[in-house]
């Protein structure tokens, strides 16, 4: 698990942590059932308050990404495949919505947008 905290970001630290863990779960970097470090271990490693890491974990647990098994620790919860897919789709959908609004405002038509999309998709291949 990789966590990088920015002190200059306006985003509270617990949110930075939660987001990064969430992304890694969604991208598959963190697999289902994988154990996470305890909130205290994480706090030590990142040199931050335990309350902060606890909050991040609590938020993620509430959203269904993590499970805490009493006495054993915290694990990435088994993801409902469809729900996950839906969440992922939603994220991309939101971004595309933004792009579509911008395009319309700037007078770029659908065809041009489609071409752009294909090019961008193929960029790393």
Partner 1 sequence: MDSVLEIKRLRKEYKGFTLNDVSFSLPEGFIMGLIGPNGAGKTTIIKLVMNLIRRNAGEIKVFGLDNIRSEAEIKARIGFVYDNPFFYDDISLKSLKSAIAPFYPKWDERLFQKLMEEFDLPLKKKFKTLSHGMKMKFALAIAMSHDADLLILDEPTAGLDPVFRIELLDRLAALMENERKSVLFSTHITTDLERIADYITFIKDGEIVFTAAKDEILENWAVVKTGGDRFESDGVPGLRGYRRSEYGVEALTSDAGAARQALSRDDVLERASLEDIMFFMSKGERHG
Packing angle, helices 13-27 and 50-62, rounded to 10: 40
Query: Does residue 80 interact with partner 1 by CB under 8 A?
Result: no
Kindly indicate which of the ranges 40-48, 67-75, 92-100, 102-110 contains the residues binding partner 1, using the contact rule CB under 8 A: 40-48
Instruction: Name the one range near partner 1 by CB under 8 A: 50-58, 59-67, 91-99, 117-125.
Output: 50-58
Nearer to partner 1, 38 or 77 (CB): 38
Per CB under 8 A, does 31 bind partner 1?
no
Q: Which is nearer to partner 1, 49 or 118 (CB)?
A: 49
Interface contacts to partner 1, rule CB under 8 A: 10, 12-14, 38, 40-41, 43-44, 47-52, 55
């Amino acid at each position: 698990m990789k966590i990088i905290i920015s002190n200059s970001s306006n985003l509270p630290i617990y949110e930075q942590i939660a987001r990064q863990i969430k992304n890694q779960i969604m991208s598959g970097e963190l697999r289902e059932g994988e154990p996470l470090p305890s909130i205290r271990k994480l706090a030590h490693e990142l040199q931050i308050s335990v309350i902060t890491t606890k909050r991040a974990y609590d938020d993620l647990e509430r959203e269904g990404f993590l499970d805490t098994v009493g006495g054993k620790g915290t694990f990435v919860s088994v993801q409902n495949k469809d729900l996950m897919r839906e969440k992922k789709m939603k994220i991309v959908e939101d971004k595309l919505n933004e792009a579509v609004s911008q395009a319309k405002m700037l007078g770029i038509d659908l065809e041009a947008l489609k071409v752009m999309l294909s090019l961008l998709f193929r960029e790393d291949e």
